[in-house]
Amino acid sequence: MTAPAPLKGIHHVAYRCKDAKETVQFYRDALGMDFQLAIAEDNVPSTGEHDPYMHVFLDAGNGNVLAFFELPTQPDMDRDRNTPQWVQHIAFRVGSLDELLATKAHLEGMGLDVLGPTHHGIFKSIYFFDPNGHRIELAADIGTPEQMAQLKDVADPMIKEWSQTKKAPRHAAWLHEKIAEES
């Protein structure tokens, strides 16, 4: 049996957009992302089918790339109506809580509605929507290496219990206490 190649990270993650130019401008202005490249084709390289598109790539930092497809001949884009709006989102890391709060002020200055910061125990985050309706999260890590190690230690037992009960196990009491303290 052969082994899979070791992964070197995510090359890019792609989503659909309503307007490629508007999307690039939003991510430049809101998050300072650098527009890396655009690819436009009339036929899909992997399938050969005729489906004109514009594919844009933005630098999300540390070698991570966020990409979007504008598909002008397809029906209007929509989200998965069977999944709550809060579930599907794109989360970016920021360097500190101060950076998170400064970015929140920047986004609100652009007229965006921003939720948070929300305390998740090991990180705090804010949420807003891009012009395509994609929910965006910015997160600042606040967990200690010891807390992260504890969460890794309980990951397998948690998934096992969840699979059996479909109820949230109390995996780390300190995590819930920390969140309650901030509420």
| pLDDT tens readout for residues 158-169 | 899 889 989 887
Residues present in the chain in total: 183
Please list, in sequence order, all residues whose beta carbon lies within 8 angstroms of the beta carbon of residue 13, skipping any fewer than 6 positions away.
Answer: 65, 66, 67, 90
- Spell out the SS3 assignment of 74-142: CCCCCCCCCCCCCCCEEEEEECCHHHHHHHHHHHHHCCCCCEEEEECCCEEEEEEECCCCCEEEEEEEC
pTM score, two decimals? 0.91
pLDDT, one tens digit per residue, over 121-142 is 999 999 999 999 999 999 999 9
pLDDT, one tens digit per residue, over 32-91 is 999 999 999 999 999 999 999 999 999 999 999 999 999 999 999 998 999 999 999 999
- Domains of the chain plus CATH, in order, are 9-75 (3.10.180.10), 87-142 (3.10.180.10), 145-182 (no CATH)
Contact (Cβ atoms closer than 8 angstroms) between residue 15 and residue 67: yes
Helix (H) or strand (E) run with residue 155 in it: helix 145-165
